[in-house]
Every structure is written in C-alpha cells, then in structure tokens.
Amino acid sequence: MKISIDGDLCQGHSVCMAECPEVFQVTEPQDGYPVVTVLVSEPAEALREKVTMAAKYCPNNVIIIED
C-alpha cells in the first residue's frame, strides 16, 4: 500500500495523526494552516486498518491509499 495526501486541500485538522501517528504527522507553522506530512509512504500491512480509518475520518478526504 502506498499513502499520499493532497496537500492543496488538506487543512491540518490532525484527525489522521490521531488515528495513525506512525504514518502521519501534523506540524503547526507560525502562520497559515497546520501541515500534514506522511512519515511513511509505504507502511507495513499491519497498519492498514489504522491508515484506512485515518482516510475515512479525514474531514477533507485528502488521504489517498493505493494498493
């Protein structure tokens, strides 16, 4: 599985990091929206459920999971 995000649409709500901190990190710049970073673009299969939940609950639906 390969993970990416649409950074143009992401608003940094941090739901992904709450669901799967092993894969997603949110940093808050001094100005502007928080920024989501994918820490592991090809996570282990054992994290599939957590990554799927992160994508499901993302308020802006910006997480892309490719098999």
| pLDDT of res. 61 | 96
How confident is the model over 5-64, as pLDDT tens digits? 998 999 999 999 999 999 999 998 888 888 899 999 999 999 999 999 999 999 999 999
Residue 35: exposed, middle, or buried by beta-carbon count in 10 A (0-12, 13-18, 19+)? Answer: middle
How confident is the model over 1-11, as pLDDT tens digits? 999 999 899 99
Classify domain 2-66 at the CATH class level: alpha beta
* Residues ≥6 apart with Cβ < 8 Å to 10: 33, 35, 36, 60, 62
Q: Which two tokens stand for residue 38?
A: 């994918």
Reported pTM:
0.90
